[in-house]
């Protein structure tokens, strides 16, 4: 509403709404009467009333976090929630860094393409396929070219044969409206 609020009036000044809406209920947001409490070192403290669990968290200067809301009774843990979120974000970032996203690069051909232009498009597709990206080859038919889609199909087949060394045809050439499309995936 007005930006910053006090979560714990005497411990730390932070934005409650941003942190708590991430995925866990923390501190005063926990409304259960009893919870199964886990200490910061991982040891079980048993089933305790919420006031006692809050008291333990306040004494240690940490947060009370509900980690298993569906359990009976819900499981809460005493931990530094800011540090926990930081480490979680770090793990997610590391996982994203190691993950390769496959992009689709487009190569536009035409039904009346010349030999040199065709070779340039094949080299571009070769570069994309070696980089691990998929290639979308497209031919747009204009005007009277629609009567000669078989010429475009021949160009697509030649293109697929030229790229066969670096990739495999994932989706064969197909006419969709005024465009003919073909997808080529890189070889593993």
Structure tokens at 140: 């747009």
Q: What is the pLDDT of residues 12-67, one digit of tens each?
A: 444 444 444 457 777 777 877 888 888 888 888 888 888 888 888 888 888 888 88
CB atoms within 10 A of CB 169: 18
pTM comes to 0.51
Q: Of 133, 188, 136, 128, whose CA–CA distance to 160 is shortest?
A: 136
pLDDT value for 157: 94
pLDDT value for 160: 94
Domain 104-186 has CATH 3.30.70.260: no
- pLDDT of 154 > 90? The answer is yes
Instruction: Work out the burial of residue 81: count CB atoms within 10 Å of its CB; fewer than 13 is exposed, 13-18 middle, 19 or more buried.
Output: buried
Q: What are phi and psi of 89, to 5 degrees?
A: -65, -35
pLDDT value for 22: 52
| Boundaries of every domain in the chain | 5-96, 104-186
Name the CATH topology of 5-96: Ubiquitin-like (UB roll) (3.10.20)
């Amino acid at each position: 509403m007005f930006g910053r609020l006090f979560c714990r009036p005497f411990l730390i000044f932070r934005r409650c709404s941003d942190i708590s809406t991430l995925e866990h209920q923390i501190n005063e947001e926990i409304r259960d009467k009893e919870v199964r409490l886990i200490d910061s070192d991982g040891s079980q403290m048993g089933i305790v009333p919420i006031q006692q669990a809050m008291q333990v968290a306040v004494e240690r200067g940490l947060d009370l976090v509900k980690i298993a809301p569906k359990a009976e009774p819900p499981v809460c843990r005493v931990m530094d929630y800011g540090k926990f979120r930081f480490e979680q974000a770090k793990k997610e970032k590391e996982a994203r860094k190691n993950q390769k996203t496959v992009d689709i690069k487009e190569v536009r051909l035409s039904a009346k393409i010349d030999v040199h232009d065709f070779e340039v498009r094949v080299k571009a597709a070769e570069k994309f396929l070696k980089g691990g990206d998929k290639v979308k080859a497209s031919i747009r038919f204009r005007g009277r070219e629609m009567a000669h889609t078989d010429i475009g199909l021949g160009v697509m087949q030649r293109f697929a044969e030229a790229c066969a060394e670096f990739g495999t045809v994932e989706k064969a050439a197909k006419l969709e409206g005024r465009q003919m499309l073909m997808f080529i995936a890189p070889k593993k």
